[in-house]
Structure formats: structure tokens, C-alpha cells
Amino acid sequence: MVAQNIFFAIIALAMVASAVRVVTTKNILHAALYLVVVLAGVAAQFIITGAEFTGVTQVLVYIGAVIVLFLFGIMLTRARIGREEHVDGERRWIAGVVALMLFAVMTYALVDAFDTEALDARAVLEPQTTEMVSDAIFHDYLIPFEAVSFLLLAALIGAIVVARRE
Amino acid sequence: MSAVVLAELAYWQVSILRVLGLLAAVLLPSGTIVYLFLFKMMSFMQSRLGPMEAGPYGSMQLLAEVGKFLQKEDLFPDGADRKVFAWAPIVVVASTFIMYTVVPFGPDAWFANIPTGIYFALAVSSVSVIGILMAGWASANKYSLMGGLRSAGQLIAYELPLVLAVLGVVIQAGTMDMQGIVAAQRNGEIFGIGFIGNPYIITQFVGFAVFMIAMQAELTQPPFDMPVAESELVAGYLTEYSGFRFLLFFIGEYATAGAFSAIAAVLFLGGWSLPGIGFDADIMNVLGPIVMLTKMMLIVFLVMWFRFTYPRLREDQLQIFAWKYLIPISLVNIAVTAVLKVAF
């Protein structure tokens, strides 16, 4: 467990540093690339806690697809090299306040829920297998899963309809 | 590296052995691919001899090439984003190295044995797109940027049929573990005939065909080489690279060819297992890598054969081919495989 804690700390520090750079860098493409580091860190944390399937999905979906689409979109529209002006929006202070409040709420929720109680280590010692994930999705949470799929399908069709109207 | 020897070593010693093995597993096949296919096979198909001066039959040509690249100046274009420009080839090569980690070469000759092996390999392979986009953007060159964008569009389009083609195998084997897929093919039988097991190229032939085409596109080998089309884009995202960084991209390209063909060998040709020799026999740790290398070279031969045969596709043909043909075919393949899996 000690080794896992040490690696957790190292990855978490790298993630926090990159996350700060995402919002402070003056180049929009650098921000997207720092976001890659943050998301890769999330995947690594999932793998450390034994949720391998979730970690790999994180890489495939977020790094392999979402970020690639970000980069694609940025490069097709505005992709200047070097420092850019007006990268920071005028409402950044409000955004900062919202972020702080969100952080406070999440910290309070975590501390309030678990307090000093040690977490059950079984979740980490017995890694979650793909069978467990699929059993959970297609047995216990079948209806929410289908509802989400239906919603995503509707969103997809909606996007196509909006994009084709010319 | 038999199980007996491994058991006596400490964890870190085994880890060092596995890292060295990984280096060998990445570099040796890619060197073989470049010499055997790019230098010699291509030359013979074009009625010429290819490199003949360096060593017998030009076999030392690779060392000469690497030496040449290492001596060249590491150029950065004016106005390039130096950091991103420098990191791009490393991202591409790293994603290739990590892909190899889940490929098994024998009962104990593996680098990382993880239960979601094939899923992991496909996820990691998609990271190289980011490296290519970084290279295209950071070069401060419109041809490079165009090449990077074409490349990203192509890799996104062909990622889907690639993953969907693999799904058929995963359904039939009932596992995403690479060793499990090898075992499933070894123990399988077709209509009661099981002396060579059931290599999935027979029952999953549609999946194999889709996988090979999508793999060709993922590797940006002709006829899918729009991103580096030399008559339109100079060399696409590679245009501004020189010396060591170009060499990294070059190694990345052929090492990825090796990685994909190793994965195809495991998924469709039965992996390292030999019929007649026990699944866990120690000798398979020596024979397994040889069997795997043979199958890998067989698949790369097919890739290179297509490469030297077909002319380049147009960009719209390339996208239509992926979205209108390959994806529906692989979806039907999944549906049929699932039905047959339940029926038998």
C-alpha cells in the first residue's frame, strides 16, 4: 500500500501542476496538451487503484478521441504559435470563484462522508475485472445504461440535423 | 527465460530483463522489416537489386542509415514551437513501445500480463495521433499542418473499424487477455476438428480482412498515405524533421507496423502456440518468439505487398471507404459472431 501511496502522490502532483498550466498558459494549444497530461494522470490513478478497465477506457475515450478532436478543431480554426493575447476570458474571476466553491463543496463532502474512518482496502487489493464492470452495467444498471445510450443517440442525431441545415 | 529461472530472480531483476526484452522486441522486428521489405522486397518488385554495398547483400545498410541520421544536424525551423516540436516524435515512439508491452511471446515470455491486454493496446495506439498532430502544428509550415490534419482525420476514421474488427475475436474467445486469446485458439475446434486448434483467421475471416485494411490505414502505408503524400505535401508532418528526430519517427513507423502485426498474429493466427507441444512447456519460451516473429513477418509481408501494389486513394474515397463500408461490415460481423456464439 505504501508504494501505491507514493505513486499516487507523484502522479497527483504532476496532475495539479499540469492542471494549473492548462489555465495559465498563453497558448491555446499548449493548454490542450497540458490537459492530455492531466487526463493521462487520471488514467494512471485508476490503474493504481485497480480499476484497470476504467483506466484504459479513460485513455481511449479522453486522450484518443476527445483531445484529438479538440486539437483538430483548434488547428482547423486558430492555431497560432507563441503567446496569444485574449486567451484569458473577461469572466475568469467568476470562473475562479466557481472553481473554489466547487472545490470546497467536494472537500466537505469527502471529509463529511469518510471523516477519519479508514477506507476498505479490498477494492484495491482485489482489482476490478472486466467481468465485474460488464455485470454491473448489464445487470444492476441496465435501465440507466439504456437510458444514457438513448440520450446519446438523440444528441448524435440532433448534432447531424443541426450540422446539415445550410 | 524459463519459468524455473524466472522464479529464482528478484522482481526488479525480472523487470530489467523484461525491459531489455522489450527493447529487443521493438527494435529487431522493425530493423528486419526495413531491411527485408523496404530495401529488398521493394527493389525486387521493381526489378532492381536494392542496397548491395554495405555488407553481404547490403545487410549492413541499416547501420549505415542510422549512422547517417545520427550525424545530421538537429534542425528546428524558424518560428517553430520548439518544445512541442521536440516532444512530438517521443510521444509517437512511446505509444509504440507501450503497445508492445501486452504482446505475449511465450508462456512466460511476456512484458506485462494484464487482463484487458488487447483493449489496452488499441487504446495506447490511439495516443500516437496526438504526437502526429503536435508535429504537424509545431513545424510552423502549412504543408506540415495539412499533413497532420489529414493524418488525424484518417486515424480517427480507421480506429473504429480496427476496434470493431477486434471485437469479433474478443466475443469468440470470451476474453480480452492476450494469453487467453492464444489459449482459446489453441483449445478451440472447428466442427470437431481440433488438431491445429482454431486460428481465428478461419472463423473470423471478415474481421481479419477489416483489421488488415484498417491497420494499413493506421500505419499510413500506401494506398492510405494521404498524410505524407509527397506530390502534394512534400512529406506532410515529417517535412521539417531531420536527423535523430526523423529517425525516431521512422523507427516509430516500422515498429508500429511490427506491433500491429504482432497483435494480428495473436488475434487471428494463434499467437506463439505450437500444436503438439504443451501450452506451458518451458521450450515454448524459446520457440514462441520465433513462431511469433515468423507470423509477424508474414503479416508485414501482406502489408508491404499491398503497399507496393495499389495507387494512393483520394481523401474523400478514403473517408467514404471507412465510414460507409468498413464500419457497417464490421458491425454486421459483430452481430453475426454474437448470434453464432450464443447458438453454438
- Which region, left, alpha or beta, applies to residue B155 given φ > 0 means left and ψ of -120 to 50 means alpha? alpha
What pLDDT does residue B192 have?
Answer: 67
What's the rounded Cα separation, in Å, for the pair B221 and B226?
9
Residue carrying C-alpha cell 530489467: B16
Coil vs helix vs strand at B193? strand
Count of H helices and E strands in chain A?
8, 0
Strand partners, A51: A128
Angle at B25 between CA B20 and CA B28, to 5 degrees: 110
> So where are chain A's domains?
2-90, 129-166
In a domain, B37, yes or no: no
Pick A60's closest partner by Cβ from B122, B138, B176.
Answer: B122
What's the rounded Cα separation, in Å, for the pair B212 and B219?
10
Task: Mark yes or no for CB contact A75/B159 under 8 Å.
Answer: no
What's the rounded Cα separation, in Å, for the pair B119 and B115?
9
Average pLDDT, integer, range A128-154: 86
Tell me which of B78, B87, B127 to substitute to probe the interface with A (most A C-beta atoms closer than 10 Å): B127
Mind telling me how many Å the CA of A58 is from chain B's nearest CA? Answer: 9
Q: A73: how many CB neighbours lie within 10 A of its CB? A: 12
Taking CB atoms and an 8 Å cutoff, what residues of chain B touch A65? 126, 156
In a domain, B3, yes or no: no
In a domain, B286, yes or no: yes
- Asked if A77 reaches chain B (Cβ–Cβ under 8 Å), the answer is no
Q: What are the strands, taking DSSP E only, across chain B?
A: none
- Asked if A37 reaches chain B (Cβ–Cβ under 8 Å), the answer is no
Task: Mark yes or no for CB contact A75/B149 under 8 Å.
Answer: yes
Taking CB atoms and an 8 Å cutoff, what residues of chain A touch B94? none
In a domain, B30, yes or no: no
- Closest residue, chain A, to B133 (C-alpha): A71
In a domain, B330, yes or no: yes
CATH class of the domain comprising A2-90: mainly alpha
Percentage with pLDDT > 90 across chain B: 6
Task: Mark yes or no for CB contact B152/A33 under 8 Å.
Answer: no
B217 lies in which domain range? 72-343
Per residue in A69-93, pLDDT tens? 888 888 877 767 767 766 677 788 8
- b/e string for A97-113 if b means 16 or more Cβ within 10 A? eeeeeeeeeeeeeeeee
The torsion of the CA quartet B30, B31, B33, B38, rounded to 10 degrees, works out to 120
Categorize the per-residue pLDDT at B1 as very low, low, confident or very high, splitting at 50, 70 and 90. very low
Give contacts of A 111-150 with B, CB under 8 A.
129-130
Give the largest Cα separation in chain A, rounded: 59
> Which among B341, B257, B271 has a CA at the least distance from the CA of B301?
B257
What pLDDT does residue A79 have?
Answer: 66
In a domain, B252, yes or no: yes
In a domain, B205, yes or no: yes
> Which among A40, A46, A36 has a CA at the least distance from the CA of A68?
A36
Per residue in B249-287, pLDDT tens? 888 888 888 899 999 998 888 888 877 777 777 777 778
Cis geometry, peptide bond prior to residue B223 (ω within 30 degrees of 0): yes
Taking CB atoms and an 8 Å cutoff, what residues of chain A touch B166? none
What's the rounded Cα separation, in Å, for the pair B111 and A124?
22
Number of domains in chain B: 1
The top-scoring range by mean pLDDT among A13-27, A96-110, B63-77, B106-120 is A96-110
Categorize the per-residue pLDDT at B2 as very low, low, confident or very high, splitting at 50, 70 and 90. very low
Taking CB atoms and an 8 Å cutoff, what residues of chain A touch B117? none
What's the rounded Cα separation, in Å, for the pair A63 and A114?
32
What pLDDT does residue A69 have?
Answer: 84
Rg of chain B in Å (alpha carbons): 21
- Averaged pLDDT score across all residues of chain B: 83
Per residue in B185-206, pLDDT tens? 887 777 666 667 778 887 888 8
Task: Mark yes or no for CB contact A64/B114 under 8 Å.
Answer: no
Categorize the per-residue pLDDT at B117 as very low, low, confident or very high, splitting at 50, 70 and 90. confident
Task: Mark yes or no for CB contact A29/B140 under 8 Å.
Answer: no
- Closest residue, chain B, to A76 (C-alpha): B149
Average pLDDT, integer, range A52-70: 86
In a domain, B56, yes or no: no
Mind telling me how many Å the CA of B37 is from chain A's nearest CA? Answer: 30
Average pLDDT, integer, range B55-64: 82
Task: Locate A50 and state its grid cell.
Answer: 485497480
